[in-house]
């Protein structure tokens, strides 16, 4: 019987499907799997199912001579050496679309939390309390009628745009390519990054990560933004230079930020934790029962297809 190793627990919806066909081993440690344990576990497996938090590099791949597929549990795949996997004839798959609604909801949620100071207000109510309603007390920013700039108008970016339309927001987007169909259906306007920085009241990052996007938002980018602007990142941490972000927030170069992902994840830049104008969430963009169940179903079906001689879906290194 073919062997599957799962580097962290996944919902039973996917696990039960796999157990119908294969010998399945799951790492169940309280902390993330270490590289040492991973090297021990993969030497005779036919498939690895890995969440984004597990790095599958050349050394891991070389340790698994029978490996035929790495099914990544997540839309991203920058945790895997996909080029080397292809050289070895190994398919790498991901779970696109399953995360779309959940991540778009979270993006809008933390945008609102930052602009209306929701987390800050919750903390106040639970600690010192407040003296009552007053005209100048705890003012935030309305989102209705404002301009949102979206970096990456893919599945998730488009879903964010549709939600933003519900607030009568003006939609700008930027990326390597124009997307006329999305522009027409959503009512979005394509602009350069510099134009977006200058015009947007809120900027949400919803692009798939690539080396070209590393520190796209740096000191120079923050200085081009409005002083009342907010940056929201529910994509990948390294797109934002967190040290530059800290300095921009301290200097009031921009007004606030909301981050679901972090440059040095799982570590969070210490200065961000003490800032009231920053909302922090622990990479929960697709952490819904619905999304995580669907992701489990996709990785299970991709693994079953590949190990039964069929072509899996969503191969990212074809």
Distance CA 82, CA 56 (A): 9
Q: How many C-beta atoms lie closer than 10 Å to residue 310's C-beta?
A: 11
Q: How many C-beta atoms lie closer than 10 Å to residue 83's C-beta?
A: 10
Q: Which residue, 90, 146, 156, 92, is CA-closest to 114?
A: 146
227 noted as active-site residue: no
CA 314 centroid distance within chain:
18
Interacting residues of 82 by C-beta distance below 8 A, sequence separation 6+: 92, 316, 317
Q: Are 98 and 295 in contact (CB under 8 A)?
A: yes
Alpha-carbon distances, residue 307 vs 68, 84, 229 (angstroms) = 7, 20, 49
Q: Are 22 and 48 in contact (CB under 8 A)?
A: no
Q: Is the peptide bond before 305 cis (omega within 30 degrees of 0)?
A: no
Q: Which of 283, 292, 294, 301 is catalytic?
A: 283
Q: Are 6 and 49 in contact (CB under 8 A)?
A: yes
155 noted as active-site residue: no
Alpha-carbon distances, residue 138 vs 119, 146, 268 (angstroms) = 12, 20, 26
Q: How many C-beta atoms lie closer than 10 Å to residue 234's C-beta?
A: 28
Tokens of 202: 């809120």
Q: How big is the CA angle at 43 (ends 41 and 49), to the nearest 5 degrees? A: 60
Q: How many C-beta atoms lie closer than 10 Å to residue 73's C-beta?
A: 25
214 noted as active-site residue: no
| Residues annotated as part of the active site | 236, 265, 283
């Amino acid at each position: 019987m073919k062997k599957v190793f799962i580097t962290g627990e996944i919902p039973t919806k996917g696990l039960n499907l796999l157990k119908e066909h294969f010998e399945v081993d799951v790492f169940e440690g309280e902390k993330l799997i270490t590289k040492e344990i991973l090297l021990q576990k993969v030497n005779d497996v036919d498939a690895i199912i890995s969440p984004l938090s597990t790095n599958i590099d050349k050394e891991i791949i070389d340790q698994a001579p029978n490996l035929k597929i790495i099914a990544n549990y997540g839309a991203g795949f920058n945790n895997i050496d996909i080029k080397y996997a292809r050289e070895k004839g190994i398919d790498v798959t991901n779970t696109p679309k399953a995360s779309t609604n959940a991540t778009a909801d979270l993006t809008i949620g933390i945008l609102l939390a930052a602009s209306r100071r929701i987390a800050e207000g919750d903390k106040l109510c639970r600690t010192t309390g407040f003296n009552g309603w007053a005209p100048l007390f705890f003012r935030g920013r309305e989102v209705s009628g404002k301009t949102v700039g979206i970096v990456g108008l893919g599945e998730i970016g488009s879903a964010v745009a549709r939600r933003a339309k519900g607030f009568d927001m003006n939609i700008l987007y930027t990326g390597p390519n124009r997307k006329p169909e999305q522009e027409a259906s959503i009512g979005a306007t394509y602009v350069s990054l510099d134009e977006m920085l200058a015009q947007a009241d809120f900027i949400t990052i919803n692009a798939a990560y690539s080396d070209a996007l590393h520190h796209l938002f740096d000191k120079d980018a923050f200085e081009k933004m409005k002083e009342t602007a907010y940056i929201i990142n529910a994509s990948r941490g390294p797109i934002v230079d967190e040290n530059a972000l800290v300095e921009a927030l301290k200097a009031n170069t921009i007004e606030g930020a909301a981050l679901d992902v972090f440059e040095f994840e799982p570590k969070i830049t210490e200065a961000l934790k003490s800032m009231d104008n920053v909302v922090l969430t622990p990479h929960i963009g697709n952490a819904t029962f619905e999304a995580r169940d669907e992701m489990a179903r996709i990785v299970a079906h991709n693994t079953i297809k590949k190990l039964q001689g069929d072509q899996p879906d969503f191969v990212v290194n074809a």
